[in-house]
Amino acid sequence: MTQQRYRQIADQLEQEIALMSPGDRLPGEHEIATRFGVGRAAARAAVQELERKQLVRRIRGAGTFVGRRIDYLISRDRRPSWHRTVTEAGATARSVVLGHAAVPVDGEIASFLALPEGTLVHRMERQSYIDELVSGYSVEWVVLDAVPHLADGMRVEESLDEVLRQMGSVRSERSWCRTASDVPPADIAERLQLVTAAAVWVVESLNCDSESRRPLTYSKAWMRGDAVRVVMEIGDRPASTPDPARDRATTNVKEVAHS
């Protein structure tokens, strides 16, 4: 196998991907090998080249799909809502609650939420999807008396931010955030359905009530790097500065209008 051959295959597939939609499934390595008359090694190398360019996403046990990497914008003047942020970037957001329980809080989490150790809080695990492809996994701790019936609210509304607004009558605001890129532990990699050991975004956030400044939620999320590019904004953005999320959404709307 020469580098030129697998790159020729990758170039041909890249042209075809340009005419496909995010989430469309690519042929498997065996089909690619048969089509181009090459071995599985060349087919695999071509797919890996597309993955390196972040044109496709490989999902463990499901296959390879056309990708679309969105800008996930984190800013104090934006609501700390996964669904809202993804939607404003022009993609479709979905999340599934994997587990929920009232648990006593201690250590660093108790400190973040300004609660005495042993205080009961909601602990919720969620799987997140963008354009129906797995994109993230998160663990969230929510002050119990801010929204006592959180589980009921999450059954009818996927956005935690909206549940807090509708059932808790509070307006959450991001007051602290820490973001890093790291290779996740094995259990998180499995949740994210990663095929290879790849770095992901790790985002920790503390959200407070915009009026009382009382802590409401602390969360830790792991996001696939081939699904999002985390963009941090600090301070006031000048009016002339481009807004990546807004511009991306506008472009997507125009593409749909002309299709």
Question: Which residue in the block uniquely carries the two structure tokens 């993230």?
Answer: 136
* Residue 3 reports pLDDT greater than 60: yes
Other CB atoms within 10 Å distance of the CB of residue 111: 13
How high is the pLDDT of residue 53? Answer: 86
Q: State if pTM tops 0.85.
A: no
Q: Which pLDDT value is given to residue 229?
A: 93
Tokens of 86: 């993804």
Digit-coded pLDDT (tens) for 209-219: 999 999 999 99
70-236, which class in CATH? alpha beta
- Confidence check: pLDDT of 246 > 60: no
- Summarize pLDDT for 54-107 with one digit per residue, the tens: 888 888 888 899 988 899 999 888 899 999 999 999 999 999 999 999 999 999
Q: Which two tokens stand for residue 149?
A: 């019936």
- In CATH terms, 1-66 corresponds, of 1.10.4030.10, 1.25.40.10, 1.10.10.10, 3.40.50.300, to 1.10.10.10
- Closest-CA residue to 216 (of 80, 74, 75, 77): 80
Q: Give the start-to-end residue ranges of the domains of the chain.
A: 1-66, 70-236
Q: How confident is the model at residue 259 (pLDDT cuts 50, 70, 90)?
A: very low
**Beta carbons within 8 Å of 202's beta carbon, 6+ residues apart:** 179, 180, 181, 182, 184, 220, 221, 222
Of the given ranges (12-16, 82-86, 95-99, 232-236), which has the lowest mean pLDDT?
A: 232-236
Q: Is the pLDDT of residue 256 over 50?
A: no
Q: How far is CA 52 from CA 17, 58, 132, 178, 222, in A?
A: 14, 11, 21, 26, 20
Q: What pLDDT score was predicted for residue 92? A: 92
Angstrom distance (rounded) from CA 212 to CA 118: 23
Please give the structure tokens belonging to residue 181: 């890129």
pLDDT tens digits along 149-189: 999 999 999 999 999 999 999 999 999 999 999 999 999 99
- Rounded Cα–Cα distance for residues 221 and 233 (Å): 18
